[in-house]
Chains A and B, each alone.
Chain A
Amino acid sequence: MTYLPYYVAAWLFVVGLYGVVTSRHMVHLVICLTVVQSSTYVLLLTIGYRAGAAAPVFVDIPAGTPAVDPVVQALMLTDVVVEVTVTALLLALAVQAHERTGRLDPNDLGILRG
């Protein structure tokens, strides 16, 4: 029970990968990649968690109270914002691939043309 978050992170990774492997639509593939990325969020969040501690914001609590890890949360923060722009880039690639070949199935893309 104490290791449940780690199992959930591993589960999300494998489930997202299953979605990527068996995908038949390029946009579906891109969304499954965001599920894979959310497994890293759960893992980072779990590593930083301290039992019984407060959020690392000292506005209304005195400065010495035990708080959770802020360094890991800083990593997660920029990760979340960068995810959406990289997803936008992948979606633009999918749109252009559909434009050039007229097909949406990743299995049909076939040979690359210059």
Chain B
Amino acid sequence: MNILQALILALVAIGGLAVVLTRDPLHQAMVASFYGILLALLFFVFQAPDVALSQIAIGALALPLMILLALAKIRRKDANEEPRTRP
């Protein structure tokens, strides 16, 4: 357990807290992408290059993409419904 591993673990713990405390989903998608890259760094430092490759492609790319597409659909529906009165 050298100092680099301890530092990255502390960063991952803080990153997880940051993802949860960001309330707006659009900002949270960006923070989640950064958290994905931090996790990939953690996997590299702990000698797991295969998993790190997978995590970079998925946590930093595919996951924020899905979130942004879902948010775009929700916003489009809200924008279409503006003129109508809602209870």
Contact = CB atoms under 8 A, between A and B. Distances in A.
* Chains A and B touch (C-beta atoms under 8 A apart): yes
Interface string B25-59: 10011001001000100110011111100110011
Size category of the binding interface on chain A: 35 or more
**Chain A's interface: helix, strand, loop or mixed, by majority?**
helix
B4 interface: no
Nearest to B29: A31
Nearest to B84: A102
Contacts of B73: 95
Interface in B45-79: 46-51, 54-55, 58-59, 62-63, 66-67, 69-71, 73-74, 77
A35 B66 contact: no
**Chain B's interface: helix, strand, loop or mixed, by majority?**
helix
A49 B1 CA distance: 10
A5 B66 contact: no
29 contacts: A1-B6, A2-B1, A4-B1, A5-B9, A8-B9, A8-B13, A11-B13, A16-B20, A19-B19, A19-B21, A27-B70, A34-B63, A35-B35, A38-B35, A39-B16, A41-B43, A41-B51, A42-B12, A49-B46, A49-B47, A53-B47, A55-B48, A76-B51, A77-B50, A80-B51, A92-B70, A95-B73, A98-B77, A104-B74
